[in-house]
Structure 1
């Protein structure tokens, strides 16, 4: 019996998220139907009657609505959690990735030394630039 209620809840969530995706895409149920090859009544049933699309039609949702397929089956809380996790992640460029790959291969003691060397080099460059600007009588940027 519990499984029935869980399935019912997922159906309701699917219906709501499907309608939200349609609204966010700025299209009508009829337009979604046209994009995936069904009539508007079929789309209406998906949005309002707890009827799931066939697998081959469901597979067309991401392209038709611009949402990944898993999005239609998650809760708002799950979506918020994923958004907060991914928003806090820094995207690395190729040089940063290469540097981390080398760094990760070093023993821990060498990692500390590597960090110290990088800091010392940065201080040297800062001192060089400060001297260069002083000799050129250029005010350093704030």
Structure 2
């Protein structure tokens, strides 16, 4: 059963592809998902939600709710749409390498990176406390 259950979402995905000159493969790479997931979005058989919707919003520069609104429902002309942030060469390389990893390894890398950032934040707080202690 291959019904278009989410025609508005599918229209918006197609609009994003057309406006940016992207293929479905381009979008799948940018949102770090399989081509199959993006194809299901474009055909209206599924929609993005949760973290996937957040990534889609970040990549396209569109608010999350926009993907669920019929074109013309909001005053599109009245507000300037932010353009998606362009990735630099290092970010493109990192994303390309990340996308080649198996899903389990992707999760491991994400968890490790979060742990490193938390540790850096703790160290920053310790340094801040030391500096404040020296000033007293």
TM-score, length-scaled by structure 2? 0.49
Q: Which has the larger radius of gyration?
A: 1
TM-score, length-scaled by structure 1? 0.47
Which structure's relative contact order is higher, taking Cα pairs within 8 Å and 6+ residues apart? 2
